[in-house]
Structures are given as C-alpha cells and as structure tokens.
Structure 1
Amino acid sequence: MKLVLVAACAIIDVDGRVLIAQRPEGKQLAGLWEFPGGKVEPGERPEETLIRELHEELGITVAEPCLAPLTFASHAYESFHLLMPLYVCRRWEGTPMSREGQALKWVMPNRLRDYPMPPADEPLIPHLIALM
C-alpha cells in the first residue's frame, strides 16, 4: 500500500481558536473540515511543506521556528496509507484568507467535533483540547 505523507497545521489565534478549512467541491472528501496543510513533495521537509502550503492556501507567512510539532495521525484509507504530522503555529504574518475557494472558520478546540472531518483528522482533536 502506498504511503502518503501530508503535513497539517493547527493555526491558533490569541483567543485560543483553531483555524479549519472546508475541502472545496471537486476534491476528494469535499465538504469535510480539515487542518490546513498539504502533501509533502519529494525532497521537501514537512516544515517546508507547511510554509509553502500556508502561503498558497491562506496567504500567510510562517517562519520555521514558529512551527511546533504536536502529534501525528496514521490512517489507512482504501487506496493509500496516510501519515500526517500535525504542527501548531501561534505566530504568522498576514491575515489568513481563503485563496483556493475553501471556507474558513475559527473554532474553539472543544467545538472541533461539531465539524465533520476526514477520518485521519479526528484523532488529532483530543491533542488540541489537551494543549489548550
């Protein structure tokens, strides 16, 4: 089974809310909410992926020292196995905005379960609740 490495980031604002994005129509798992991030490209480190993806998806600039690893998810989908490190970021430049047509929401960690998420994202929620 193919292993896919995806880096995700819990962007946390000064009020302790986490930014989640809704997968747009036409994408696999469309309509579900997830932590921003993306597939790690060949030769790329997960931190580099997040810096690139957060700029592309949200228009924000993140410095590598502001990315702190929190936990990871390991989930078997039908056609591949997903390994997803989750980082926390509390400092960035710019205002997060939807640049790829995805809906964005700031959510308190204890309300994250109110938003349907892909199976790989769900086990990350308790770690964020414990962090906050």
Structure 2
Amino acid sequence: MENRVVVGGALLHRGRVLAARRSAPPETAGRWEFPGGKAEPGETPQQALERELYEELGVRTRALAPLPGEWPIRAGLVLRIWTAELLSGEPLPLQDHSELRWLTPAELDTVDWLDHDRAVLPEVARLLTAGD
C-alpha cells in the first residue's frame, strides 16, 4: 500500500518563514510546525499544499519545491515539506493553530518545533539567507 502524503508548507515571505503553533490534537498542541495537511486522492502535493494553506490560514500561495527528506508520521502517512510563496492575503490561524509567527533565520530556534519540522530548519535557514 502506498503512503498517503501529508504536505507541510515552509511559507517564505520577505526573508522570513511562517511558523504555526498547533492547538490540536493534544499530543502536539503547543508545539510549532509548518502548516499543511493530507493530500486528497488525485491531488498533487502542490495542489494539496495550496488548498491546505488556504483552508488553515486564509491565504493564496504557490508551492515551489520540496525540501529534502520525508518522515513517517504513523502507519500509512508520510510527511514531505515544501517551500511556498505568499501570493495574497495575511495569514490567520483559522484551523488547528492558536498562533502564527513570522521568523527570521536567527529566530528559527526560538519556538518548540515538532521533530519532523525541526529536521528541515537548516535548509529553510539556508534558503532564507540566500534570498537576502
């Protein structure tokens, strides 16, 4: 059986990346992640990310490129994190999150990331620094 993809979005904007604090489920509440969600059948990871960021944050985005690596979340689910750019709107914590923060490369270690998301922070920092 093929794994279902959960796509996370490292939303890059003006030299910063968006971090979202989980409000649910209880085992991840209070920790920070790159927002996103499960791809629906027939969706590409890019389509899933753009849809999820609209549903969770109320913004229009464009998925850019996958970051290296993938992480098993539980049986049948695998996380892949993509970079994305903000096209329009101001992100709001509409679903599953209690707070959002834009972080500079120097601020990436100031929040308690979920382990999977923490794994891509060096690459995110490199991309943010390269964009200056």
- Cα distance in 2 for residues equivalent to 1:125 and 1:97: 22
Q: Is the 8 A contact 1:20 1:33 kept in 2?
A: yes
Label 1:45 to 1:110 Cα distance change in 2 as closer, same or farther (>3 A): same
Identity %: 32
The alignment status of 1:84 with 2:90, answered yes or no, reads no
> Which position in structure 2 is the counterpart of 1:104?
100
**Mean Cα displacement is larger for which, 49-58 or 106-115?**
106-115
Q: Are the counterparts in 2 of residues 75 and 119 from structure 1 also a CA contact under 8 Å?
A: no
Output the amino acid matched with 1:48: Q
Aligned equivalent of 2:109, options 90, 110, 113: 113
CA contact (8 A) 1:13 1:90 kept: yes
Q: What is residue 17 of structure 2 aligned with on the other side? A: 18
TM-score (norm 1): 0.82
Deviation string 1:76-110 (CA, Å, 9 cap, x unpaired) is 45x43653222222331111111126211111133
Contact 1:6 1:37 in 2 (8 A): yes
TM-score relative to the length of structure 2 = 0.82
* Matches of 2:33 and 2:69, distance apart in 1: 13
Compute the RMSD of aligned alpha carbons: 2.2
- What's 2:89 paired with? 94
The amino acid that maps onto 2:93 is S
- Post-superposition offset of 1:8: 1.2
Runs of 4+ in 1 over 3 A off after TM superposition: 1-4, 25-28
Q: Residues of 2 paired with 1:81 and 1:106: CA distance? A: 31
Q: Deviations over 1:96-131 (max 9, x none)?
A: 111126211111133222211221111110001111
SS of 2:93's partner is: coil
